[in-house]
Amino acid sequence: MLRRIIRPARRLPIWLLLSVAAPFVFEVILHLWRYNVPRPASELDTPFFTSCQEPDVSAKRENAILVMLARNHELEKANKTITSIERQFNKWFNYPILFLNDNQWDPKFIEVLNKTSRGLATFEVIPQEIWTFPEGVDANAAKQNIKEQGEMGIPHAGEEGYHHMCRFYSGKFYQLEVLKKYKWYWRLEPDVDFNCAISYDPFVQMARHKKVYGFTIALWEIGKSCPGLFRSVADWKEMMGIPTNNLWKAMVSASWVPFPFRRFMSWLPHRDAYGDEWSLCHYWSNFEIADMDFFRTRAYQDLFDYLDKKGGFYFERWGDAAVHSLAVAMLVDPRKVHHFEDFGYRHDHLYQCPANAPGGQLPESQLLGSGTWSPEMDNGIGCRCECDGRVTSNYGGYCLNKLKQPTTIKRPWFTWLL
């Protein structure tokens, strides 16, 4: 009987495998290099001041207003915020305050907040035609989808009013008749603490340094709330022929999958048509100091109308923070975005707390008055911060560092862990 001889399969030579893989590896390296964010030779977004300033109560003010969206049942929380910002800022600078509500105001709310804000407040009701489903969106289908989103456990996604709020702040807010005469706004929320004295006028400094958008905290968006948002924004960007700047690159995590297989990744959430992914990092918009003229531009309003027609404010839960952030990253020079790292700020369980500047607390200032504050520390920049700057400087250090990359010099990798 003849035996069948089984020979082992021949292996491809290693040089052949490498020669086949090399073009793909090279293409991936080239692709990642295109999304590299070069670091500048010097810091391009430094604090406006790094210690207390004597409040200049006689200086010219900017055309600006403080704005809070609140409901009647949030009286106590709204009063807490206004008490805090009055004590730490507005008692010296006296900017007007606008309260917005989608329902008629309770006279008690107006009485209490008028007193706390020293008569600087006005109270407006948002027009019903703005606080509703837009034309082209099936309201019944949207309501059913909102119910299902809530059942999926997506935060706030089961609340119809929250969807209206996100759409409102994403676009219609900037067209309100009551705001048309103002250029700058400072967005406030109920139940906010300002933990440091703000002894200079941030509106004046934003204008002086040609800034457009200011924030305190950057963090990850909840991914399941907006799986289609980035693709829609990226499609609009390509359709309009908008060039990619370094801030947009900082928002994106370039795909490691080689071309042409990379395009198959575009079917996944948070990917553009080429398979590259939004990191979900964004500016937390419950604190914003910004130039409303940017949000009133034809480009931004066209982007909002494009997103509005997509229906994602209702059939997903597209948040205004994510919309603002992607728009700023796409349309604004990174040098025009400012991080207010000297502001002590808390909302919910997230907060920013700078350490106090050594020798910079002006204890003899009559306007700043007396009081107690946390210890001063080397490299501190805060003014009379009452929170403990030794605990942490910000929430979500990864996102903060990613979004500040275009304006921040290169530092040793381990410093980002501190």
Determine the 3-state secondary structure of 143 from DSSP.
helix
* Cα→Cα distances 115→95, 175, 342, 358, 391, Å: 15, 28, 29, 36, 35
User: How confident is the model at residue 20, as a pLDDT?
Assistant: 54
pLDDT (tens digit per residue) in 261-289: 888 889 999 999 999 999 999 999 999 99
User: How confident is the model at residue 106, as a pLDDT?
Assistant: 98
Determine the 3-state secondary structure of 245 from DSSP.
coil
Write down the catalytic residue from 221, 277, 288, 341: 288
Class of domain 64-353+392-417: alpha beta
Helical (H) or strand (E) element with 253:
strand 252-253
pLDDT band at 390 (very low <50, low <70, confident <90, very high): confident
Our answer to whether residue 86 is catalytic in this structure is: no
Determine the 3-state secondary structure of 396 from DSSP.
coil
Residue 335 has pLDDT above 70, yes or no: yes
Taking alpha carbons only, the member of 316, 308, 320, 322 closest to residue 279 is 322
pLDDT band at 8 (very low <50, low <70, confident <90, very high): low
* Cα→Cα distances 168→61, 161, 319, 323, 400, Å: 28, 10, 10, 11, 26
Domain ranges of the chain: 64-353+392-417
User: How confident is the model at residue 416, as a pLDDT?
Assistant: 41
pLDDT (tens digit per residue) in 403-418: 999 999 976 544 444 3
User: How confident is the model at residue 353, as a pLDDT?
Assistant: 92
E-assigned strand segments in 319-395: 337-339, 345-347, 350-352
Is the distance from CB of 146 to CB of 157 less than 8 angstroms?
A: yes
Instruction: Measure CA 182 to chain center.
Output: 21
